[in-house]
Structure 1
Amino acid sequence: MTAHPGRRRLLAAAGALALGGLAGCASLGAAGTAALRSAPPAGLPRRVELAATPFYPQEDFQCGPAALAMALGAAGLATPPEQLARQIFLPGRQGTLQVEMVTGARRNGALAVEIPGSLDALLRETAAGHPVVVLLNLGLSWAPSWHYAVVIGYDLDAAAFLLRSGPIERQVLPFETLERTWARGGNWAFVVLPPGKLAASAGETQTTTALVAFEKTAPPLRAATAYRSALERWPGSLTLAMGLGNSLYKAGALPEAETVFKNAARRHDAAAAWNNLANLLLERGRLREARDAAQKAVALGGPTLDTAQDTLRQIEARLTASASPRRKAPRDRAARR
Structure 2
Amino acid sequence: MTHVTRSPSWRRVLRTAGTLLAAAVLGGCAALNPLVPQTVQLRTEWPQGVPQQVELAQVPFHAQDDYQCGPASLAMALQWAGVQPSLPQLIEQVWLPSRKGSLQLEMLATPRRYGRVSYRLSPSYADLLREVAAGNPVIVLQDVGTMFTQWHYAVVNGFDYASGTVYLRSGTDPRQEMPFSYFERTWMKGGYWAMVVMPPDKVAATATPERWLEAVIAMSRVGDAAGATRAYDAMLARWPDNLAASIGLANQLHGAGKLEDAAVVLRRALARDPRSVILRNNLAQTLSDLGQHFEALKVLEPVSTDATAPFAAEIKATRQLILGRLQARASS
Task: Tell me which interval the TM-score lies in, with the shorter structure as reference length.
Answer: 0.7 to 0.9
Query: 1:239 is matched by which residue type in structure 2?
Result: A
| 1:69 counterpart residue number | 75
Which structure is higher in helix share? 2
Q: 1:207-248: CA deviations, max 9, x gaps? A: 111111112122222212111111122222211111111111
What SS does the aligned partner of 1:52 have?
coil
1:287 aligns with 2:293: yes
- Equivalent of 1:145, from 130, 147, 150? 150
- Equivalent of 1:264, from 249, 254, 269? 269
1:109 aligns with 2:109: no
- Equivalent residues in 2 for 1:1-337 (5 A)? 32-139=38-145, 143-268=148-273, 269-297=275-303, 299=305, 302-324=309-331
Paired residues in the alignment total 296
The alpha-carbon deviation at position 44 of structure 1 amounts to 2.3
Supply the distance in 2 between the matched residues of 1:303 and 1:61 (Cα, whole angstroms).
52
After TM superposition, which residue ranges in structure 1, 4 or more long, deviate above 6 angstroms?
A: none
Supply the distance in 2 between the matched residues of 1:156 and 1:232 (Cα, whole angstroms).
32
Relative to structure 1, the CA distance from residue 64 to residue 297 in structure 2 (aligned partners, 3 Å threshold; closer, same or farther) is farther
Q: 1:296-337: CA deviations, max 9, x gaps? A: 45648655322221111111111122223x5xxxxxxxxxxx
Q: 1:59-79: CA deviations, max 9, x gaps? A: 111111000000001111121
What SS does the aligned partner of 2:102 have?
coil
Supply the distance in 1 between the matched residues of 2:37 and 2:248 (Cα, whole angstroms).
34
Q: Is the 8 A contact 1:287 1:319 kept in 2?
A: yes
Query: 1:113 is matched by which residue type in structure 2?
Result: Y
Q: Is the 8 A contact 2:241 2:269 kept in 1?
A: no
Supply the distance in 2 between the matched residues of 1:161 and 1:170 (Cα, whole angstroms).
10
Supply the distance in 1 between the matched residues of 2:47 and 2:37 (Cα, whole angstroms).
9
Q: Is the 8 A contact 1:163 1:172 kept in 2?
A: yes
Supply the distance in 2 between the matched residues of 1:219 and 1:294 (Cα, whole angstroms).
32
Supply the distance in 1 between the matched residues of 2:200 and 2:262 (Cα, whole angstroms).
18
Supply the distance in 2 between the matched residues of 1:288 and 1:39 (Cα, whole angstroms).
59
- Higher deviation after alignment, 47-56 or 285-294: 285-294
Relative to structure 1, the CA distance from residue 108 to residue 217 in structure 2 (aligned partners, 3 Å threshold; closer, same or farther) is same
Structure 1: which 5+ residue stretches go unaligned?
A: 1-27, 327-337
Supply the distance in 2 between the matched residues of 1:97 and 1:33 (Cα, whole angstroms).
27
Q: Is the 8 A contact 1:133 1:150 kept in 2?
A: yes
Supply the distance in 2 between the matched residues of 1:186 and 1:124 (Cα, whole angstroms).
18
| 1:10 counterpart residue number | none
Q: Is the 8 A contact 1:161 1:173 kept in 2?
A: yes
Query: 1:253 is matched by which residue type in structure 2?
Result: K
What SS does the aligned partner of 1:161 have?
strand
Supply the distance in 1 between the matched residues of 2:309 and 2:181 (Cα, whole angstroms).
51
The alpha-carbon deviation at position 96 of structure 1 amounts to 1.1
Supply the distance in 2 between the matched residues of 1:305 and 1:139 (Cα, whole angstroms).
57
Supply the distance in 1 between the matched residues of 2:172 and 2:305 (Cα, whole angstroms).
62
What SS does the aligned partner of 1:32 have?
helix
Supply the distance in 1 between the matched residues of 2:183 and 2:295 (Cα, whole angstroms).
59
What SS does the aligned partner of 2:210 have?
helix
Supply the distance in 2 between the matched residues of 1:241 and 1:57 (Cα, whole angstroms).
41
Supply the distance in 1 between the matched residues of 2:309 and 2:152 (Cα, whole angstroms).
46
Query: 2:315 is matched by which residue type in structure 1?
Result: A
Supply the distance in 1 between the matched residues of 2:97 and 2:201 (Cα, whole angstroms).
34
RMSD: 2.1
The alpha-carbon deviation at position 295 of structure 1 amounts to 4.5
Q: Which has the higher contact order (CA 8 A, sep 6+)?
A: 1
Relative to structure 1, the CA distance from residue 299 to residue 148 in structure 2 (aligned partners, 3 Å threshold; closer, same or farther) is farther
Query: 2:330 is matched by which residue type in structure 1?
Result: A
Supply the distance in 2 between the matched residues of 1:176 and 1:271 (Cα, whole angstroms).
51
The alpha-carbon deviation at position 251 of structure 1 amounts to 1.8
Relative to structure 1, the CA distance from residue 51 to residue 129 in structure 2 (aligned partners, 3 Å threshold; closer, same or farther) is same
Relative to structure 1, the CA distance from residue 303 to residue 135 in structure 2 (aligned partners, 3 Å threshold; closer, same or farther) is farther
